[in-house]
Structure formats: structure tokens, C-alpha cells
Structure 1
Amino acid sequence: MIVKAELGQRFLLTGSRFCSQRSLSPERREEADKSGEPAGGGRKRRRGGGEDLQEYPVMVDRRIQIVWLQLRSLPSRHASHIVDEHPTHLLSLSVVLLNFLSPSETGPTPRVSFSLGSPGRFLTRFSSPDVSNTTTLLLSEDGDVLYVGSRDAVLALDVSHQDAITLKGKLDWSPSEKDLEQCSMKGKKMSDCPNFIRVLQFLNSSHIYACGTFAFSPRCTYINSETLTMSLKPDEGRGRCPYDPYQRNTAIIVDGELYTGTVADYRGNRPVISRHLSEGRRVDLKLDDTLGWLEDPTFISSTVVPDEEKIYFFFSEVGREYDFIDKFIVSRVSQICMSDIGGQRTLQKRWTTFAKAQLLCQADNELPYNVIQDIDTLLPAEGAPADDTLFYGIFTSQWSVNSGRSAICSFRLSDIKSVFSGNYKVLNRDTLQWSTRVQEKVANPGECGLHNASDNALRFVKENFLADDSVRPVGRTLTMVSPEHRYSHLSVQRVQAANHRDYTVLFLLTESGYLHKAVLLQSGAHIIEEVQVFEQLQPVKSLKLSIPQGVIYVGTSEGVVRIPTSNCSVYWTCPQCILARDPFCGWEPNSRVCVEVKSTKIPLVQDVDRGNVEEACSSVSLTHRSRFSSTKLSAGELVSVSLNEVVRLQCPPSSRLSQQQWERPNSRLSPDLYLHLEDGSLSFVATPTTLGHYLCLSTENSFQQTMAIYHVKQKSSNPPPSSHPITQAGGRLGPRLLTSEGPQRTESEPVPEAEQAEPTQSSKNPQTPTSEAKDSPRWTEESGPRGSEFGKERPLMWSRGPCYLKELVVVSVLLVLCISLLITVLLYVFRQRCRSRTTIQAGTPPRDSGSPVEQEALRGHCGSKRNGKALHSGQGGMVCNGALTGSNGHLPNTPI
């Protein structure tokens, strides 16, 4: 083990040095070898064991775990041999060890969850039997019409009404039978040969430009947005739309020109970023195919920064600057200038302003999230410079150690511009290795206006298009990490709260079909809620946010779903409205309702940063609210039970971030009598000791509220039960958004109407949030709960759940009875045997008693017979040779 530990340290140091030198010039690498210092200039960090570990640039291959496991299973001498013979594995193993040493992260938990069809979150759906693959969305400027690109059709949906989505128009655009036959002859599946609309952009105020795969022969056309008819005959769409419907692409139209990122051939081997629909002296441009400017990319998104007159493309590709066993995927951002018209002799009809850089979404000493999944742009606030533009992206990892995890990283436009204005890498055509260019710059790659530059300058930018530095996230940290959810799409919005502060809200769609709404705070990300969008897993290709309408549109393979960005009415008390920490919502103290901030000009109560109920709701009565009556019922919810009956009291939590606890008046809940279940409910057997009042408390963010009050009472008259029945009582005094059971009642007693309790809420010391509940009772059996009020809307919920406690008790009793009976029988048999032996031994003379004469006479008397009959002297039997015999020499009463 000591040898292997030394090898592990050797892996870390050597691997870090090896990694750092891979991207250095030969001169700097030689100097590093001579000095013995790490060439990467990384600083040393001290870990728990005291070793100094080098900070490393992360580059990993997929076989690192297998190599490490093999090393652990080998003897020390073989492990040393691997180190000497396979130095390329040093980097991989160092990354694994550093990842093991790093602490595991826990992501934020959604505060509340709304299941599909929940009344707390109303969703609007559109689907039709003849419509599928509604995955490309385009929203009109006024937000009243949603254009949808689907399979063999373009739809116009009327979304102006809040309660319904209706079909306004439909344009059928499907391939002919001949086109489908040719697609099938190319070896493609018939299910992939229809026309899948992949490009849908506004060309101007009256027309839409659309492109589709069209049986693996892309076509594009102009569509009148009012009549939804084709204005011109479709033309070829190569380089504008992918051939394969499964290939990702991106497209954007700016000033009537189409900028796309896709593939330009049938096999998908020619990726291209190009410009189309150019007019005047401007020509269509594309990348030079022979330079390897793109390495098997997967295009994600594209956006325009008007003040910069640049188009930015986001994609992932193979990082050729890294040398590994398997392909190492990196995320990229590339730029082109809208004013680019190509070179005069060099780079004719090619981009002269193309440059790309790596997006690095990584925390310190951890594996990077290197595969970008989606990205959205957050424009700067009003009056702020364009450099404050932020890009929020979803990143995942290509390694199994981070499988199922997602990370959110944000990048600032000023940082991207700084990387593009720095140094660039150069490719050695002989060795096919990248290194940092140390020579003087002939031109600045990525700079606009190079179309008039000299041929020497254009050749320089032609060979120097990969930035040397990587774009780091804002604050050099991850915005959010989710170890349990894998996100696929996101939208971002800046929301102004009641205090006129701006907050960033992310809408994240998981692969399992849930939409998360998260607000970014100084203390970290807080997931306000999660809403289930669809039940069964299905491909999601588009997520469109309409800020003016306050809704989100999700395009799936089966239809379109609309979700409101907020629903403040679900928070029906001031504490719930404050604890939600939703910048969309605030508490209106006069009408005592939670409303949207933008819907009123009345000052609202809100605390997004801390969620402090005691301060925010100080002017609001925590025990008197408009929705509840003032009638007090100290008994609580009545639960009538029989003795020896299993009782289960429900306690719905106020949120998924709260903690539940139970209390009894003037007594503590002994673990010998009570069972606290994982769902917060309390289970026990009804006995004279356990009868009485029970109070369930929920604590969240140092604020405590009463969620349920019960009075467990013995039934007045009831025959003895044959077994242990189960009474399950559930009441809900707090939020109504987490339970869905209907009202039920027991068979013994009806529940009095209008006798239901309101939560009793109180603020506690944040340092000791539970001491009061444990040490001092809040109420007594005589007076009932303090400050508890009962409203009119809380139903009594009775149900019989699958509990096997009574079966366990019956089986245990039967087992004890059987064991007792068996022991009794064994004792009786043993006693009888002992008594029989004692009787026999008492009637038998000793074998050595009497004189020899007497023994001889006795033997002779036993053996003498007359006429075949044994002689006897009037006795029915005698003892002979230690055996009791009768007149015939056998046992008495035994037939011969």
C-alpha cells in the first residue's frame, strides 16, 4: 500500500507536468525540463495528507478508471512497471486521484414540486393526431402567434388566450412519393425520410424563411406569415439545413441575411458555418474546407451582439490540441464579423474573421463539464455596456464519473473578447501538434475589417484561428451544479423584484420531464419550484421564453406545452409567499394575498435574498388571516380509535426544504412507543398512554408553523377487535400544493363541519430552531393548542394504507404460544420418564443382596416347572433377573 501511495503521488506530479508541457513551445518545454519546475506555472496546493499537489489543466480520456483499477489490483512491482512503460496514463490517473480527493457536491433541492395536472400549476397543451415532431418554435413579435415547424408541416398557433392554444393555420410541406423512394434507395429508414422543419426564422415583417430535411435532400422556401402560404418555389437548402433529422444545427437571420451552422454533405462529414441570402456587393461566405477549422462539431446555438456587429456560434467538437487515447470533447465559442466579405486573392468567399476559443466550465480540482448542451443570452440591463452581456450554458461531462450530473456556467462577453484579442495557437503540419505562437503577430485574428488586408496578413489569420487561452466562467466558479438532474434546455430572464433590484432567473428543463425555476442569489442557486411538463420521456428540441406574456413554450415530439413563469396565488399566506423567495411574487398586506410584482404598483412585502419571515411579515398577523375563521377548536382533528389499534397520523410538509417534528402536551414521544416515518407521519399503537393530543410542526428557514393538530380518542363503544386494525389520519393545515388525497372519514364518527384548524406559526431563534419544541411544551391537555385556529377548507383525510403491523403482532403471538406449548409437552414427557424409572428402581432388590443360598434357591425356583407350567405361590408375578414376570415368564397382562 505504501508503494502504491507513492506511485499515486508520482502520477499526480508527473501527470500535471506532462499535461502542462503538451501545449508549450519546444523552447519553454526544454527550459522546464532543465529546471525541474512545472512548466505550466501552476501553483501548489496543500491537501489533507500534507502532500503538495500541482494544479493541473484538465485533459482526460475515458479509460482512466480502468487503468487505475488495474493498477490497484497489481503487485507493487507490476505497478511500477506500468508507470515506466505507460507515461501517457499519468495524466489520466492524476485526474482520477484529484477527483477522488475533491469533496462531493450537493445540488439545490426544489422547494416545492407540482405533479402533472396539479391545480397549483395550470399547463396548456396543444396536440393533434396528424401533427408530430413539433420541435422548432418561432414566436411573433407581439407574442400572439407561435409558428411551429413539425413533420411535413408548418403550423401557426393562436396563443393569445390564456386558457387554450388553437390551430390558426397549417402549411403542408411533405416530400413526394418519388422523393421518399429515392431516400429509401439511399439506405435510409422511411421514418427518417419525411420533411422535418429545422430552420424557421423571420426574414422580415411579412415573410418567414423555412428549411427542412426533405427526404435527405434539404429544401428552403419563403412563407407568408399572414396567409401561411409559400411565396416562391422551394430551392436547394444545402449548407443551410442538415440532411439528417437527428443532426443538430443552428440558424439566425440578421438584416435579411442567414447565418447557419450545419453540415453541407449527405454523409455529414463537411461541417460549415456560412452566410446566405447576401445582396449587393456582399457575397455568401463559408469556411475553408481544407484547413480543419471545425473538427466534427455539434452546433448548439448562435446569437448576435448588435453593438459589436458580430455573430457568435456555440458548439462542441473534438479538441485536436489535446492528445489522448479517446476523443476529447471541448466546448467552443466562435465569432465572425457581419461586415466580412472575404479576401481579394487569399480566402476568397471565405471568412477572414473566423476565430474560436474553448469554453471551460470547471470547478477547481475537479473534472470539467466539457460538453455543452444548450446556451442562452442575457442582454445587459438598461444603460449597461454591451460587454456585460452574459451567456448561460448547460454543460455535462463525457466521463462516467460525472454521468447524470449537469452544471450551469455563465460567461461574460468582455472575457470572450479578451481571449480573442490575446495569443493564438499554431499547428505544426509535420507533427500535427499545437503550440503557442511566440513570434510577433502579423495581424489580429478575429478582427473585423481584414478583407482589405495583405495576403501575408490573411495567410496569418488563416493558420491562427484557435485562441491560446480558454474562456473562464464568471467568478471562475460554477453557477450551479445538479448531481441528480440532467438538464437539456434552458432560458434565462432578468426579473426586477419589489425592492427594484434585478435577479437572474433560470428556467431549466430536465430530461425526465420537469421544469425547474431557479433564482441566482449571492448564497447560491435556489430552486423555487419544479413543474412536471410531461409524463413519458420524449425528445425535447426547443424551449422558448416569452417575457411579455410571462410564459414558456416547450416543443416536444408530441405537441407544444405552455407553462406560466409564475403562479403567485398558490402561496396563500404571508410566510409561504416570503419563504418561496420568488422575485416574481410579493405579499400585498392590505388584501392579504400573494400577487405578481409587475401587476401592481402597491408596495409589496418581499425578501428574495434571505426569506426572513419574522422581518418581512412583522406587520402581518401570523395567526389571523382573511381566509380563515376566528373560531378556535382546542381539540384539534378528532381521531376515534380502539385500543390496540395501529394509528398513523399524517403531517404534510410545508415544503421539501422543511423539517417535521411531533409534540405532545406535557410529555415527550418515546422511541419505544412511537415510530417516525420517512414521510413525516407518526405511527403508534393506541393504548391509554398514547391517547390524547398531538401537534405536528414544520420548520423552514428558522420559521415554524403548525401543520396538523390531532386528538386521538378511544371509541365510546366497540367490541374487542379480532386483530390490530389501522387508523390513518391525515390533515393539512399548511400549504395545499403538496398533497392530492381526497377527503375521507372514519367509520366510527363523522367530522364536525367547519371545525378545522389554521396553522399556528411562530418564529424561533435561528441558533436553536428546535430547542423550544423539545424542552417546553406549547400547550396543555386542558387548554389545548395555543393560538391555533381552524379554517373552513381543511378536509379530514382518512385512508387505510398498506401496513403489516397487525399481521406481525398476530404472527408473533402465535409463535410465542407454539413455543410455550412445545416446552410444556417436553417438560411433561421428561417428568413421566423420571417417575417411571424411579418406580422400577424402588421395586427391584439389589443384585448383590441376600446370601448365596438364597440367590440359588431363588434362581432354582424361577427355573423349575411342572408339566410345562411355572410354579408360583399364589402371586401374580415376581421379579426374576431384574425383570417383573407373570406366571408365564412374560410381562403381566401380555399375551403369549
Structure 2
Amino acid sequence: MTTRLISDKAFRQPRFPGEGSPKENSNLPGVELWGDGMASPGLTLTWLLCAHLLQSWPGGRTAETPYPRLRLSHKELLDLNRTSIFHSPFGFLDLHAMLLDEYQERLFVGGRDLVYSLSLERISDGYREIHWPTTAVKMEECIMKGKDASDCVNYVRVLHHYNRTHLLTCGTGAFDPLCTFIRVRNHLQDPLFHLESHRSERGRGRCPFDPSSSFVSTLIGSELFTGLYSDYWGRDAAIFRSPGRLAHLRTEHDDERLLKEPKFVGSYMIPDNEDHDDNKLYFFFTEKALEAENNAHTIYTRVGRLCVNDMGGQRILVNKWSTFLKARLVCSVPGGNGIDTYFDELEDIFLLHTRDHKNPVIFGLFNTTSNIFRGHAICVYHMSSIRAAFNGPYAHKEGPEYHWSLYEGKVPYPRPGSCASKVNGGKYGTTKDYPDDAIRFARTHPLMYQPIKPAHKKPILVKTDGKYNLKQIAVDRVEAEDGQYDVLFIGTDTGIVLKVITIYNQETGSMEEVILEELQIFKDPTPIISMEISSKRQQLYVGSASDVAQVRFHHCDMYGSACADCCLARDPYCAWDGISCSRYYPTGTHAKRRFRRQDVRHGNAAQQCFGQQFVGDALDKTEERLVYGIENNSTLLECTPRSLQAKVIWFVQKGRETRKEEVKTDDRVVKMDLGLLFLRIRKADAGTYFCQTVEHSFVHTIRKITLEIVEEERVEEMFNKDYEEEGPHRMPCPARSSIPQGTKPWYKEFLQLIGYSNFQRVEEYCEKVWCTDKKRKKLKMSPSKWKYANPQEKKLRSKPEHYRLPRHVLDS
């Protein structure tokens, strides 16, 4: 049992969850005294009241706002050895490209004038670097043309596997892009990381001029496909194929039907079948929508598609894409009145590969374009829906005065947008053999009529609380005891990564969002701009402008040491194995697999843990505390559950009554995240208080607090008496003892008042508190610290000072 003395005259600064507990001294078991960190009563109570008001504010914590089960700070992640941070030895990184190489077991990072090779095992150890600056002449020319000096360097923006021994890399080169190869070898005895500068060549169409312009690229064989602004001034938006085995191609210049001020987000090659000639490349981007006639500035998200083996037309679209089509990608929340809320701007895209390489699952992270309403959503798309849109009708506009409509005329053969392959009959060897009417139709009808809608016709996750902006997404598919789950890792603009699962209820059509963890990856708030994921290593690699971090997917024992804690967490990576909360392995994947208790879908701990012997009776042992509150002062009964998702309910048992009653709150008694706050405590508040948590119908009493009330008059009399007394005990600690014979310090009177009789242990404790580290105190002590040691000087004190705490407490 712990005893605590609480008064608004000695009120401790409130704690946030995760900041640690009040300091306890093992030399005095059962007694907890407030020492360092005392706040003035006015400031403390103001803070507590403000915090309470924020709970009911729209942006504050409400029952409808899901909170993470665990919130781990940057320091906690480091202490748990769950993360590792790479800092550039030059003091800057300016990250612009990241490439995960499982074969070489390296993470390649492109920044300003530098390329790094980091170990996937621990990125902060054993890094290698290549210094790749631009020439002084190019830098001077760039500045002379009016560009900012900070942009007139070489930002590495392209990193791709070219083969098992080489990487293809391109940089902005002070607004004069260039490309070359990096030779790599990760042998322990003979590692290699070398820039082959003699193979450098111009990078126009492969790399943007501007380091800040939107850009995507995909390497297929020896061909580099890019979406970028390809000119010096950033006006020519185009999709390119750089020459390799196939000829150079691009979208038509200044044709707004194809691209209108696009922001490129991602590109992926996704096969339709086993015929490689039928392979298609998909580009994900946002642009100003021509079909949005009521608003010329409306932004839509698009999926663009083209054939990898496109050769352009023979007489029309020569050296231009002849198979490019695009469709609208929709992410919206259905409204009750039939009006949807749209999230039109794509922030990030993630391709989750499945066992069927032709049908990956696509996750899109969107935000709103409205200046009034701000929010984010994640939508999931299946390739069947995307292919259906491109195989559907074309959009058509007869003329400037007409509206966009469904094209109902005859579609030429071969179907515009289809590839020259055996799937299409093998009649045409290349697109150059296509009839002119098929090429002409593709040129004038690049837009599909049907939009692509997400699975379930709505987002799997929506965030409108405004706490932070969502920037990046990565997904890992996990096999759990009760099914398959997609774990979302969401990067924010504050350096936080959210670990989330969503559970679809087929009966109600609703989606449940479960935030498992909130991880502060970087020490200082900074936007996350890149994420790579390794399911094989169970690691997430996170990039900001200045640092790169790696973090493990899970740390199961952080959820608790009991079966119920583990099951209530609902983390598909974790299960109760009879001894601890540990990594879950599906049947047959782990030789020493013990029985597992896990319920991700429902989190039913009562059912899963029935009959289990909790380790150390973790849930059977309720923590007990004894707290003394001073009448008419404020008192906080602290109770912060491990899980932020748990609902806290307070019960009280008065006197000898056996019946418990739920605590009723009012303007004097306030429930807070930190516990139960009495703003002005009364004698009638004395009793035994039970702090219970409820989570998924599982009820657990985590703390039992006995509250005793001390009369205010008796405490003030004792304090004032102590101030009026003279004695050498007000002087600094002597070498052997600070408590002279025959004196009776204030704390003994106070402990007699509350009925605590173990004076010897208290005296030992106080001796240690007051007389420890004398050297430090001596150095910090000013000449005026003991100015009231002289009885004559003491008389000069002002009257309000009689109501301060004894200096014994303030110094301890």
C-alpha cells in the first residue's frame, strides 16, 4: 500500500500517459512524498481545468475518436531497441530517393550530392557513401539563370536495380540532370559501392530539373518509364520511356486531354496475364479535371495506363504513346442524402503484392482539396475494378458547347488502349501496324467514362480530427488465428507512424478502425516523406528530409504481462502463448509453437483467457494506495490505464458499506485522463475508490485508493507552529545529522495527525532526502538562501509567506 499526502499547496505537475510515475523512494516503503516538480496551485489547477475542457472540444479526446492502444515516444523506442536512426555525417541529408534491396541486404538512399548504402540489419551501423556533387561551372550557370543556390546542386532522385551488380541512378545536376550507374557488391570480405562516372549521360526525360517537382519512375528491363516535368522551367508535363531495347516515346506536348498540371504519385507494372507482350504500366497522379465543367480548378485523382511495348503510330502519334488511357480514381464517403464527400487529392499509393502477381491490392491515401473541410482517407482498390473501367465505355465530348457523355458510336478494332500481343489475336506485331482510325480514336478519347470505385464503395479509414496530416502509407498482410489482416503503417507530417488495422463487418457494412500503436519515430516533429517495408525482416524503413529510421513491426510484451492484456491489444502480430505475449506464428511455420490465444476481430479476452493462470497474478493483484487529502483543497486520485483505448469507471465505497456506487461527477468532481480530480474536497468524500477499466466487455479493477480527509485547520496550525519555531534544523545539513536532539520537525507532527507511527523509517528517509548530494546543493546555493536563519532577519518576512510550504519540503 502507498501513502500519499496531497494538497493544492503542494500539487504535483500533471503527467501525460507514458511520462512515468510519481517518484517513489524504496527506502520508505508504503509512503510517497511529493518532491521535485511542484507547481503553484493556480497554475496547476488552471492546467487541469483546461485539459478537461479540451476533452469535450471537437479536436479533443472523445468517445468517437479512436486512440492508440499504445503510444511510444522516440526515447521509449530507442530504450526498447526497437528503432535505429541514421544521421548523415555531413549534418544534412535532403532525402529524395530510397530503394530497398533485399538481395543485397541494403537500403540505398539518395540525397544532396550523396548516395548512401545502409545495412538492412541496422541502418546506423556500417554505412557506405558516394559523394556525387555537380561541377562548379554548372552551379554558377544555374545561379546565373535565376535559380536558388540551394537548388543548384545534385539531388539524387532515381535509384533502381538495373541488374544484380548495378544500380541506375540519376540526379538533378544543378538543373542539368544526368544519369549513371553504381556498381554494388555486399560481400563481407570485399564490399563494393562505386560510382561509374565514366558512364554518365544526359538525364533529360529520365530525371526532373527541379528537385522539388513531382516525379515517379519505374525500370522495366533496360527501359526507364517516368512521369515528370521535363523542361527547365517546369511546364512540360509528360510520361516518358527512355530508349533502351525499345524506342524513345512520350505523351504529346501541350495536349491537356492527356495531362493537365499533373502531380505524379506512383507508377507500377502490373501484368494482365502470362503474355509479356500484354504487360501494362499504371501511373497514379492528380490533375485538373477537364470534365469538371462547373469548376475549372477541380482536382481529380487518375489512373493512367499504357502498354509497355507501345511503339507509337506509323503516321499518327509518331514517337508518341498510342495506348495511353486514363480513368478517375474515386475515394468518397457516401452521404445520407445521396451526396458523397470526396477525397480527391492522392497523397501516396501502395501496391500490396499477393500470391497472384496479376492481382495486387492497391491502397490509396487521399486528402480533401476543400479550404473549409480538411480530412484524410484510405481507400482500397482491386485490379478487377480497374480493368473493368479500362474495358468499359469511353468518355466523349462532341464540341466546346457540349457536355461530357458516354461514347455510343462504333469503337475501332483493335480496341484503343490494347497491346499488340497474342491475347489480341496476334494479328498486329506492333502498334505501328494498327489502323489509323484506331490510333486516331485513342488520341481523341483518352478518358474512360466509368470511374474506379473502392472496395466496399467507401474508405477503410477516415481521419478528420486535424491532429496531423497523413503523408505516407505502407501495408503488411498478416495471418492471424482468426483470419487475414492488412496492417497499415501510416506516416504523418509530425514524424509519427500510426500502426492500424481495419475490420469490415459484413452484416452491418461498417468498418472498425483499430489503432494499435502511435510511434514517434523522430525526436523532432518532421514530415515523413518516404517509407519502405520489409515483411521478410519485419522492419519498416522511414525517411524524413534529414534522417532515416528503421523500426520493428511489433514489440508484443509491451502490451502487458497477462493473457487479457495481450488479447485486448488485438495485434495480429501478437498472441498469448501461455507464458507471455509474444510473436504469433501461423500453424506449421514454427517448430516449437505452443498453444496460442488471440482474437483480433473481437478482442474477447474473457473467452480467450478463461481458465488461464495469469503470470504473477498480474490481473488478480489490484494496486492499493492510501491517499490523504486536506479539506477544502484539491486532490487528484491518479489512475492511468496501460491501454489508451480502455474506458475508466470510478466506484466508491463509503465507511463500512459493502455496496459500491459509481462516482457521480459535477463541477467539483471531474473525471480526467489522469484520474479523478476533486477541485474542493470535503469530509464526505472519504472512502475507498475503485478505478475500473472496461474494454470489449472485459472489466478489470486496476487500482484501489483509500482516501482519508484531514481537517484544514489542524494542518494550518501545525504548519504555522513550525514556522514560528526557531532552531538549528533550518540551517544546511550537518555532516552527520540534520535533525538536532530534542527537536520535533513538522513531518512528525503531520504523521501523528494522520496516524502514521513508523517515525524511524520516516526519519531515515528524510535524512537521505535532505542531506544527499550536499556538494551539488552547496554549489547551487546562493548567499541569500539561508537569509532567515538569523532570527532578526526572519521578522522581516511578509505575512503571506506564513502560508508557504515548509522549506524542508521545498528543498527536498
Is TM more than 0.5 here? yes
2: CA distance, partners of 1:552 / 1:672: 46
1:154 match: 115
Contact kept? 1:106, 1:483, Cα under 8 Å: no
1:266 aligns with 2:232: yes
1:587 to 570, 576, 587: 576
1:394 match: 365
2:451 match: 470
1:136-155 map, 5 Å: 136-142=97-103, 144-155=105-116
1:192 to 139, 144, 151: 151
Contact kept? 2:574, 2:581, Cα under 8 Å: no
1:406-485 map, 5 Å: 406-428=376-398, 431=401, 434-443=404-413, 444-449=415-420, 450-484=431-465, 485=468
1: CA distance, partners of 2:552 / 2:416: 44
Identity %: 28
1:509 to 482, 491, 495: 491
Contact kept? 2:96, 2:155, Cα under 8 Å: no
Could you give the per-residue CA deviations for residues 858-895 of structure 1, whole angstroms, max 9, x where no partner exists?
Answer: xxxxxxxxxxxxxxxxxxxxxxxxxxxxxxxxxxxxxx
2: CA distance, partners of 1:605 / 1:751: 48
Shift of 1:347: 2.2
2:566 match: 577
2: CA distance, partners of 1:629 / 1:294: 61
1:125 aligns with 2:85: yes
SS in 2 for 1:458: helix
Shift of 1:341: 2.1
Contact kept? 1:105, 1:483, Cα under 8 Å: no
2: CA distance, partners of 1:681 / 1:329: 47
1:520 to 502, 516, 519: 502
1:54-133 map, 5 Å: 108-118=66-76, 119=79, 122-130=82-90, 131-133=92-94
Shift of 1:640: 4.5
Gaps of 5+ in 2: 1-61, 186-191, 274-278, 421-430, 506-510, 721-746, 759-798, 804-812
SS in 2 for 1:400: coil
Could you give the per-residue CA deviations for residues 179-228 of structure 1, whole angstroms, max 9, x where no partner exists?
Answer: 11111111111011111111111111110011111111111111112322
TM-score, structure 2 length as denominator?
0.71
Q: Which amino acid counterpart does residue 310 of structure 2 have in structure 1?
A: D
1:211 aligns with 2:170: yes
> Quick one: structure 1 residues 491 and 577, their matched pair in 2 at CA, closer, same or farther if it must change by over 3 Å?
same
> How many residues are paired up?
618
SS in 2 for 1:439: coil
2:307 match: 337
SS in 2 for 1:278: coil
Shift of 1:235: 1.2
SS in 1 for 2:566: helix
> Quick one: structure 1 residues 628 and 439, their matched pair in 2 at CA, closer, same or farther if it must change by over 3 Å?
closer
Gaps of 5+ in 1: 1-103, 726-745, 753-809, 815-896
Contact kept? 2:271, 2:280, Cα under 8 Å: yes
1:55 match: none
Q: Which amino acid counterpart does residue 172 of structure 1 have in structure 2?
A: H
Q: Which amino acid counterpart does residue 655 of structure 1 have in structure 2?
A: S
2: CA distance, partners of 1:215 / 1:266: 11
1: CA distance, partners of 2:521 / 2:558: 18
Shift of 1:723: 10
1:876 match: none
Q: Which has the higher contact order (CA 8 A, sep 6+)?
A: 2
2:96 to 135, 138, 141: 135
Contact kept? 1:552, 1:565, Cα under 8 Å: yes
Shift of 1:361: 0.9
Contact kept? 1:155, 1:167, Cα under 8 Å: no
SS in 2 for 1:471: coil
1: CA distance, partners of 2:289 / 2:682: 71
Shift of 1:377: 0.9
Shift of 1:106: 5.9
Shift of 1:612: 0.6
> Quick one: structure 1 residues 597 and 121, their matched pair in 2 at CA, closer, same or farther if it must change by over 3 Å?
farther
2: CA distance, partners of 1:426 / 1:244: 35
SS in 2 for 1:184: helix
1:618 match: 610
TM-score, structure 1 length as denominator?
0.65
Shift of 1:625: 2.0
Contact kept? 1:198, 1:213, Cα under 8 Å: yes
Q: Which amino acid counterpart does residue 578 of structure 1 have in structure 2?
A: C
2:330 match: 360
Shift of 1:401: 3.0
2: CA distance, partners of 1:215 / 1:157: 26
2: CA distance, partners of 1:546 / 1:681: 40
Shift of 1:140: 1.2
SS in 2 for 1:210: strand
Shift of 1:170: 0.8
Shift of 1:715: 7.9
Contact kept? 2:619, 2:700, Cα under 8 Å: no
2: CA distance, partners of 1:242 / 1:333: 21
2:549 match: 561
2:28 match: none
Contact kept? 2:492, 2:527, Cα under 8 Å: no
> Quick one: structure 1 residues 609 and 451, their matched pair in 2 at CA, closer, same or farther if it must change by over 3 Å?
farther
Shift of 1:111: 2.8
Shift of 1:333: 0.3
1:305 aligns with 2:270: yes
1:491 match: 474
Shift of 1:167: 4.3
2: CA distance, partners of 1:671 / 1:506: 38
SS in 2 for 1:648: strand
Contact kept? 1:412, 1:473, Cα under 8 Å: yes
Tell me which moved more, 408-417 or 304-313.
304-313
2: CA distance, partners of 1:724 / 1:706: 37
SS in 2 for 1:460: helix
Tell me which moved more, 164-173 or 151-160.
164-173
